[in-house]
Amino acid sequence: MKDEQPSSLSESKINELLEQLREKYIKKEKPLDKEFAQEREANWQILNELGRKLPPAGFDLIKPIGVGSTATVWAVHHRELDQDRALKVPRPDAKLKDTTKILIDERQRLAAVSHQNVIRIYGSGVVDCRFHNETHALPYFIMEYLPEFDDFDKAILKGRKSLTDAALIAYFRDALTGISVLHRDSIIHCDIKPGNILIAPDKPAVVTDLGYAKLIKVGETRDTDVRFTERYAHPDLIRLVQDTTDPNANIAPVPRSELREAFDLYAFGRTMQDVLHQLRAAEDNEARTVLDTKPILTNYQWAYLSMISKRLLDGKVIQVRGPDLLTDVIVGLGEREMKEIRYLSAEEALVDFEKLLHLYDLESNIPELNEHLSHYVQIPNRHVPFTERVRATVQHPAFERLGQVMQLGFISSVYPGARHTRQEHIYGTFANCCSYVRALWYDEYSCLFQCIMSKGDIESLLVAALVHDIAQYPMAHDLTEAASEFSP
């Protein structure tokens, strides 16, 4: 039976709220004056219904805080908890049936996720609205409220004078963490862009607007319509576009089995490029008129973030020339290398943010690189790291036999001191390799090695140094020079 309690909002209050909403419509980059007039009566009904639905749940409707392509967002206040929240409800426009489904999907996605870097949901409901001679049951949900929030790029540009380098880098990490959390729950956002990542003062960046998000279904072959913003869209999505009437909401049919995390990673890479480029331009303009201005980031940090953004692009090289922050290729590398070093998951990229924020402990992850390791093998002029896994390698019979194989063969007849073995040679190679890795990792001028080398890459390199001579036999070099039959 329909709830018949009266609305808590008077007619004059509803008209006041509608006037505030009209201001939101006309202040958009592309004003929606005509759209507001067409939607005014239906919005009146929505507000009247919310005035009946919200008070029993402990909420009061306060004011409109935003208008999007599919919904309006309102500030509400929970009386008992004395906390502000945000309420999202579909816009009553010509695409109401589609937007209703979008909000239902978004509500379901948010309800499945709980993390500080993804907008939280606290409740939901339905309001009735008559539009175009049809009655619609419009879903609404109550979510986390971010006071004085702004889009990702705008918040960073506005706050750049008070931001520290660590805070700026942390914002990028926060956003990518939110994306990673969605991927962990098999959700592809599909429309990552600065406008869908929000920052509020003293709050971490949060990923929001999951209206176009999709749930990965293994084995599902049916197409699903993916909506996205062209500027940030993966090239594979752009090729499938059917509806191009709105560049901010392109539509492409994609089999659910082909939904990929790379779509979100690519979009975030483009987002990073845009934000970094805008920030650099703003700082350069300021430096021309204000003396002693300093950029937020060091050259090393600029380069590192630029590399991360490029590696998020799934190996797709579209922009080759132009400012370094906007190109898709790392200086000195080519298209083939960019495909080889692309990130395959958000977690991979998050490790590089940890490195940049000095939260990644190289020596703890790879103890052989600890210069102060208490267990070592002494060879002339070198301490060789001797961890348990190094011990397990060198105690293998194939390695132990090299202790009986001379490294320099007949040369010891000319230089009597040249009598070290293949085993000693390997120890020296391994120790030098550890030194090279540390030097490249902690290079203060180039971040390339630290950025592109993962824990697994470095461990593979150290293993290669240990076993590079494992197949050598006595007098190998001498015999190779004497007869070609001994050559590999």
- The residue-averaged pLDDT of 400-404 equals 80
Q: Using alpha carbons, select from 209, 42, 8 the residue that is nearest to residue 134.
A: 42
Can you read off the two tokens belonging to residue 191? Answer: 């429309």
27-39 CB burial, b ≥16 within 10 A, e <16: eeeeebeebbeeb
* Alpha carbons 21 and 63: distance in angstroms, whole number: 8
Among left, alpha and beta (phi > 0; psi -120 to 50; other), residue 475 is: left
For the whole model, what pTM was predicted?
A: 0.85
- Report which of residues 412 and 286 the model is more confident about: 286
Q: Is it the case that residue 309 has pLDDT exceeding 90?
A: yes
Per-residue pLDDT averaged across 86-94, rounded? 86
Indicate left, alpha or beta for 381 from its phi (over 0: left) and psi (-120 to 50: alpha).
left
Q: Which class is 150-360 in CATH?
A: mainly alpha
Backbone dihedral angles phi then psi of residue 41, each to the nearest 5 degrees:
-60, -45
Are 344 and 311 spatial neighbours (Cβ–Cβ below 8 Å)? no
pLDDT of residue 287: 86
Q: Per-residue pLDDT tens for 48-87?
A: 999 999 999 999 999 999 898 788 999 999 999 999 999 9
CA–CA distance, 139 with 238 (Å, rounded to integer): 30
What secondary structure letter does DSSP report for 6?
P
| CATH number for the domain whose boundaries are 364-486 | 1.10.3210.10
Cα–Cα distance measured from residue 214 to residue 117, given in angstroms and rounded to the nearest whole number: 18
CB-hemisphere CA count at 13 Å for 478?
Answer: 12
pLDDT confidence of residue 272: 97
* Domain residue limits, the chain: 11-144, 150-360, 364-486
pLDDT bin (cut points 50, 70, 90) of residue 409 is low
d(CA 311, CA 320): 14
**Is the domain 11-144 a CATH 3.40.640.10 member?**
no
**11-144 and 150-360 have identical folds:** no
d(CA 151, CA 171): 12
Q: In this structure, which amino acid lies at residue 264?
A: D
pLDDT at residue 142 is higher than 80: yes
pLDDT tens, 208-241?
988 888 888 777 778 888 888 889 999 998 888 7
How far, CA to CA in Å, does 108 sit from each of 19, 123, 221, 361, 433? 31, 11, 22, 38, 51
